[in-house]
Structure formats: structure tokens, C-alpha cells
Structure 1
Amino acid sequence: MKIACVGGGPAGLYFSILMKGVDPSHDVTVHERDPAGSTYGWGVTYSEALLRNLHATDPESARAVLDSSVRWDRWDHFRGDESRSEHYGEEGYGIGRHRLLDILAGRARGLGVRVEHEREVAGEDELADADLVVACDGVNSGLRERHAAHFGTDVAVGGNKYLWLGATRAFDAFVFSFQETAHGWIWCYGYPYAPDRSTCVVECAPRTWKGLGFDRADEGDTLARLEKIFADLLDGHSLLAQGDGHGGARWLNFRTVTNTTWSRDNLVLMGDAAHTTHFSIGAGTGLALTDAALLAAALLEGLPLPAALARYERQARVLVRSAQRAARRSARWYEDLPRYADLPMPQLVRLLSLRGSGLLPHVPPRLFYLAHRAGANAVGRVASRLARRAGSR
């Protein structure tokens, strides 16, 4: 096949690696509009499960990713002067987005994939000689927008404001910091991705954002105010805004993208062009790489192209549907933070971990916590009895 991937993010690069790695006769080109070395974002996070899948599909790139990653096994929560740590029996991983793309692009080139930077593709008609055009050009996909009516594209805009920043401190855990101000709550999610750097995502309600003056502040004032609010967390270190021409410290509203169909003739959507999930569940990179693996697997079955694209979409949708449901519930939990913020710290942390429940928004938080604890204790007692009984036998 002659394949053109429009977009040089993790999805397009990984898909090109899998296709070329299995069958070198494929002619694969990745077209990226930005210059080499230019990328939006600081670090990305991924799970142990994704790492196992990467090892199963392409061990060489998986080893390189792991070698360049920072890991943690603790989740720290802060609220004012209070703190609480949790261990969930698994590790989390962070890697710089720039480093991840370097690894994937290097691996792709080593397999014979052409990776062309500063090459913007406005429409698939520019790639008329391609057997397959993969639109992996992100949430603002130009190829998708050309046929938005066909794809049934819907974009739901979230209520809260958020800001994606870096920090010159490498946290030794995944951190949540909730801080109350005169204008309401503001919070930060942070995780390390390099020995001396972390990602910090700051979020708050529009009323708080405006009350704190962020609607009028320039980049310097924004960073200075946030450094003061999260001074204990940063411990004398600085926050960093994008320095790559993407507009610096930009406050955004998260946009959840869905599509009723993911393909049109020989054009197929992948990654954020097909779907997005709220950043609070950290699933975006994992879903993008999973899309790539599922699309490659469907094509390598040797099915006719329409059947292969239908299989890819059917299989990927199962995972995406579940992730988007969890993401919607997670986003709602944060939008409803005042409902939970004054709970005792153990209850706040536990309900944060249970925010994927569809029942939680409809039950008084303390009652939900008590019911969950009672249920967990009952299950624990039954498990202990069964264990003792098995041991006596």
C-alpha cells in the first residue's frame, strides 16, 4: 500500500512504524506541518498496561520510551496545609512529548518511513496517489473539518478554564493541589516527565478565572500569580509557558470531539482527530497509540480496505466509548468541585478516586463515601473468611 499520514504526532508515527515494520514493501510517508523539534505540550503520562502493549507490538521503540521515562508509585494530594498520599499498587510513567516524538520519528525513519516536516496538507486531493490517507492531525483536524458533515463531527465545550504549563521542579509523585481563593477553588495536576521538569495543568471555574484577573493578565502576570497560589507545591521553582510560538500561557476550555463515522472512502480518522478525552484521566496518548495498533492490525489482515477500516473503527470505538464516558464523569467531578472540596481530606481523596461513578453526582457525597466504605469493608470481610477457609483446607 501507499500510505500518507497527515500529522506527525504519536498516532501517525506509531502507525507508520507498525505498518513498515511488518511489511517493508509498504510506501509510508508522514506529513507534519510544524518544523522538526516543534511540539505543543510538556510531558505526557501513560500506564503500565500501555507499556506492556507497546512491548508486544514494537519492543524496540517500547524500550527506548521506557528508558526515557520517569516513573512514580505515589499520588500526593494537597489542600491548603493538609496533605495525603495514596499508593494504588501500580506505577505511573511520564515522558517528555518532544522526546517521545523523537523516539518514534527515529524508529520510523530507521524502518524506511519518510517523515516530512513543514509540509501542510490542506486536503486529501493533494495525496491522490495514496491508497490510504490517515488523518491524525489532531483535535483541529483540517481533513476532518473539510468533511465534518459526513463524519458527523460534534465538539462539546467544557465549562472550566484550564492552562497547560511546565515546571522547573521534578515532582517525586503525581500531585493534586487544591487551593481556595477569595474567588473560589483553583487546582493543579502535576507529574514529572524528566529529571528536572514536570507538567502542571491548572484548572478553575470561569468565575474564579475572571475573579483572579486571569482574563486581563498577560503571560508574566499569569505565571507570577499561579506561582504564588501554588508556592508550597513549587517549593521555589518556576512555572513555564510554551516557548514554541503557540501563544504562551493560553487559557482554554476543553473540547470533547466525537464523530459518528471515522472513514470516508480511503480517508480515515485516528487519534485526537477521531476523539478526545478530558485531560484529567490521562488517556489521550494511550488511545492514540492504541488506534494506531488497531488500524495496522486490521489492514495487515489483508481485508479489502472498506472492511479493514470498518473493523478498525468497530474495535477502537469500544475502548473510546468507555474512555469518553469516564472522561465526562471526571470532568464533571472537577466542575462540581465545591460540592466535595470541604469534605475531610480522606473523603475528598477517596471520592476523587471514585469520580468515574455515574451515581456519585446524584448522591450526597458523605453518604456515597460511607456507603462505599461499608461495601468495601463487607467485601474485605468475606474475602478474609474465604482466605482463612481455603488455608484451613
Structure 2
Amino acid sequence: MKIDCVGGGPASLYFSILMKRMDPSHDITVYERNPAGSTFGWGVTYWEALIDYLRSADPESGRAISESSVRWENWITHVHDRVTITVENGAEGFGVGRQRLLDILADRARALGVRLEFEREILDEDELVDADLIVAGDGVNSVLRERHADHFGTEVTVGRHPYLWLGTTKVFDAFTFAFTETDHGWIWCYGYGFSPEQSTCVVESTPETWQGLGFDQMNEADCLGMLEKLFADVLDGHPLIGRARADGSARWERFPTLTNRTWHRGNLVLLGDAAHTTHYSIGSGTGLALGDAAVLAEELQRDTRLEPALTRYEHNRIGEIRSAQRSARHSAQWFENLPRYIDRPPEQLLELLGQRHSGLLAHLPPALYYRIWRLAGRFGR
């Protein structure tokens, strides 16, 4: 089969690896519009179940990803000038640099015979007329998907809160939340390590706090300087670093949650962020994209007829993605309703934060929800 993948992100690269492992005769090319090594972003998170799968599906890349990752079991929550809460032996999580992840997958794909063409932008599937299968893994702003947006039933819902994706030389040895109260309301961040030298730090606030603090008028240097002061307690004197984007800037954004009614059209199929996005606060985006790659490869191996294979892939993944997006929506709403929870006793606050993906929490008073969890026996440690 001749397969062309548009977009050189983790999903496209991993799909090409799995397909080559299944059948080395597949003719696979991955097209990426940006130069090699120019990805934006810092670290990505994933959880223990994913690394177990990666090690079994392709031991070479799974082992390299595991060896390049940092791990944590503890979770720390700081509430400014009030309390620091630590949970030991929580769920095991991992962080790996996005560029390091892409390098591992690209090297493995090349070793298996996949062609990688950087600085090659594909704007129309008609440029790939010889392909049996075209995989649109070109991200949330997918050009190939947008050409047929009516067919795919594409919908985008933009979140209320501005957020900023940064790096820092402060190496967090636990997954860390920090909440800071200002004269204009609350602002918060969470950080996690992804290498021995750096961590990711995501900052979020309400629009009112963001505007009240003047972030809507600040340049990047002034913005980073103010954030370093606001989160001085958790940064321990380390700087925040912008330059998280390909154009060299760090920008405030509002998160777009993307859904599609269908994921394929003829021999064109959507993968990863081109098909769906989930709010960053549950840390599942990369794992879900790699899951797409795995299921698509499995269905194509099971049935060489393209239409039935793509239909089963779509039905399989849409259900799981909807569940993840539901959890992500509840998580985002938890932060949007932060004043409901922030003044709870420390033990309750931490439990409510840990259960922020629950739809039940959104409809019950925090104290009642907390008591229900205790009665259900799910609080004890």
C-alpha cells in the first residue's frame, strides 16, 4: 500500500512505524511543512499504561521514549500564602520533551524505511494522487480537513480562559499546581519536568484577572517578569522561558476543543489533533493521538479493504475520544469555577482538584461531593 502522511507529529510518525512493522513492503512518506527540529512546545505528559503499550508495540522506540522521560509519583499543590499540600505515591506520570519524542519517532521511522520530507507543505490531497491512503495528521488547523469541513462536520468550541505555555529551568520533581491570589482575582499554573534541565509551566487565569493584571497590553518580556514574581514561591528564583512557538514567541491563547462528525472521506482519514483535541488540563493529547495511530494501523492490518477499515477505526475511536473530551470539559469547568473550591480546607481542596474531571462535581456543592467520596471509600490513603 502507498501511504502518504501529511504532518510530521507524533501520531503520523507512530502510525508509519506501526505500519512498516506490520508489513515492510508498505511505501510510506511523511510530509512536514516545517524544518526538522523546529517544533514548538516544551514537554508532553503521558501515563503508565501508555508506556507499557509503547514498549510492547514497538520495543525500540518504546524503550528510547522511556529512557528519555522523567517520572513522578507525587503531586504538590501550593495555595499562595496559605498552604502547601503534598500527595505521595499518587498515579505515576511521565514527561518527555516534545522535540526529543519527535526525534525518537523520526529516527525509528527512517530506520524502518519511511521517507520523511521536511519543509514540504501539502495543501491539497490532489498533490498525492498516487496514494492509496492519505493520513491527515496536520494538527488542529488541518488544511486537508478544512477543505472538506462540511463533510467532516467540523466544530470548534473555544475555551473562556487565556493560557500560556512556557518552559522553565526549575525542575519540578513532582507534578505541581500553584494558585496565586491577586487584587484582580486568581491566577494559577501547573508544572512538570520533562528533562533533567527543564520543566513545562502552563499558566492560566480568568479573562478578568488576565486583563486586570494588564497581560493584554504587555510584551513578552514584561509578561514573563510579572509571572516570575507571581509564582516566585514555586519557581525558586528560576526564570520562565517563552519562545514556545515556531515563530519564536509565547502567546496567550484560548484552548480550541475540536470535534468531527466523521473522520474519513474516500481515502483521506483524520488522525490526532486533526480529528480531535482535549483540554490540556487532563494531559491526554499525545496519548490519544498515539492511540489513534495504533487503532488505525490495527484496522488496516485486519482488513485490507479501505472503507470498512476506516469505518471501524472511526467508530472505535470516536467513542473513546468523546469520553476523554467529556472528562476534559469537566476539568476545564473546574478551573472556570475555581472560587467554588479554592477556600475549602486543604485536604478537601486537593481531593476536589484530583476529581475535577467528574461531571457529578460540577452539579454538587463541594462539601457534599467530598462527603460522598469519603462514604464511597475512595478517599482513604
TM-score tier (shorter): over 0.9
Note if contact 2:74-2:87 (Cα within 8 Å) is conserved in structure 1: yes
Note if contact 2:12-2:30 (Cα within 8 Å) is conserved in structure 1: yes
Residue 119 of structure 1: SS of its match in structure 2? coil
Shift of residue 251, structure 1, vs aligned partner = 0.3
Structure-2 separation of matches of 1:17 and 1:370 = 48
User: In the alignment, which residue of structure 2 is the partner of 1:319?
Assistant: 320
Structure-2 separation of matches of 1:245 and 1:264 = 30
Structure-1 separation of matches of 2:111 and 2:376 = 53
User: In the alignment, which residue of structure 2 is the partner of 1:213?
Assistant: 214
* Residue 232 (1) aligns with residue 217 (2): no
State the Cα RMSD in Å.
Answer: 1.2
Residue 35 of structure 2: SS of its match in structure 1? coil
Structure-2 separation of matches of 1:85 and 1:25 = 52
Structure-2 separation of matches of 1:285 and 1:42 = 13
User: In the alignment, which residue of structure 1 is the partner of 2:330?
Assistant: 329
Structure-2 separation of matches of 1:131 and 1:44 = 32
Residue 160 of structure 1: SS of its match in structure 2? strand
Structure-1 separation of matches of 2:244 and 2:206 = 26
Q: Note the alpha carbon deviations across 1:103-149, whole angstroms, 9 max, x for none.
A: 00000000000011000000101001100000000111111111000
Residue 166 of structure 2: SS of its match in structure 1? strand
Structure-2 separation of matches of 1:98 and 1:229 = 29
Residue 254 of structure 1: SS of its match in structure 2? strand
* Residue 202 (1) aligns with residue 203 (2): yes
Q: How does 1:262-277 map to 2 (within 5 A)?
A: 262-277=263-278
Structure-1 separation of matches of 2:304 and 2:110 = 27
Note if contact 1:136-1:272 (Cα within 8 Å) is conserved in structure 2: yes
Which moved further from structure 2: 106-115 or 336-345?
Answer: 336-345
Structure-2 separation of matches of 1:249 and 1:47 = 27
Q: How does 1:278-297 map to 2 (within 5 A)?
A: 278-297=279-298
Note if contact 2:47-2:93 (Cα within 8 Å) is conserved in structure 1: yes
Note if contact 1:11-1:292 (Cα within 8 Å) is conserved in structure 2: yes
Residue 192 of structure 2: SS of its match in structure 1? strand
Q: TM-score, normalised by structure 2?
A: 0.97
Note if contact 1:51-1:62 (Cα within 8 Å) is conserved in structure 2: yes
Structure-1 separation of matches of 2:125 and 2:337 = 42
Residue 187 of structure 1: SS of its match in structure 2? strand
Kindly name which structure, 1 or 2, has the bigger radius of gyration based on alpha carbons: 1
User: In the alignment, which residue of structure 2 is the partner of 1:384?
Assistant: none
Structure-1 separation of matches of 2:144 and 2:245 = 24
User: In the alignment, which residue of structure 2 is the partner of 1:71?
Assistant: 71
Gaps of 5+ in 1: 381-393
Q: Note the alpha carbon deviations across 1:3-28, whole angstroms, 9 max, x for none.
A: 00000000000000000111110000
Shift of residue 338, structure 1, vs aligned partner = 1.1
Shift of residue 321, structure 1, vs aligned partner = 1.3
Residue 377 of structure 2: SS of its match in structure 1? helix
Which moved further from structure 2: 321-330 or 353-362?
Answer: 353-362
Structure-2 separation of matches of 1:308 and 1:117 = 29
User: In the alignment, which residue of structure 1 is the partner of 2:158?
Assistant: 157
Residue 95 of structure 1: SS of its match in structure 2? strand
Shift of residue 361, structure 1, vs aligned partner = 1.7
Q: Note the alpha carbon deviations across 1:319-355, whole angstroms, 9 max, x for none.
A: 2111011000000001111111111111111101111
User: In the alignment, which residue of structure 2 is the partner of 1:305?
Assistant: 306
Q: Note the alpha carbon deviations across 1:223-252, whole angstroms, 9 max, x for none.
A: 000000000110010000116543512000
* Residue 24 (1) aligns with residue 21 (2): no
User: In the alignment, which residue of structure 2 is the partner of 1:114?
Assistant: 115
User: In the alignment, which residue of structure 2 is the partner of 1:376?
Assistant: 377
Note if contact 1:222-1:249 (Cα within 8 Å) is conserved in structure 2: no
User: In the alignment, which residue of structure 1 is the partner of 2:98?
Assistant: 97
Shift of residue 370, structure 1, vs aligned partner = 2.0
Note if contact 2:39-2:246 (Cα within 8 Å) is conserved in structure 1: no
Note if contact 1:6-1:12 (Cα within 8 Å) is conserved in structure 2: yes
Shift of residue 87, structure 1, vs aligned partner = 3.0
User: In the alignment, which residue of structure 2 is the partner of 1:385?
Assistant: none
Shift of residue 171, structure 1, vs aligned partner = 0.7
Gaps of 5+ in 2: none
* Residue 175 (1) aligns with residue 146 (2): no
Q: Note the alpha carbon deviations across 1:42-95, whole angstroms, 9 max, x for none.
A: 000110000111112111100000010011110100001311111354311000
Residue 177 of structure 2: SS of its match in structure 1? strand
Q: How does 1:331-370 map to 2 (within 5 A)?
A: 331-370=332-371
Query: Residue 274 of structure 1 aligns to which amino acid in structure 2?
Result: A
Shift of residue 374, structure 1, vs aligned partner = 2.5
Residue 159 of structure 1: SS of its match in structure 2? strand
Note if contact 2:167-2:244 (Cα within 8 Å) is conserved in structure 1: no
Structure-1 separation of matches of 2:367 and 2:352 = 9
Structure-2 separation of matches of 1:203 and 1:299 = 40
Structure-2 separation of matches of 1:243 and 1:286 = 21
Shift of residue 40, structure 1, vs aligned partner = 1.4
Identity %: 62
Structure-2 separation of matches of 1:245 and 1:136 = 18
Residue 253 of structure 2: SS of its match in structure 1? coil
Note if contact 1:161-1:253 (Cα within 8 Å) is conserved in structure 2: yes
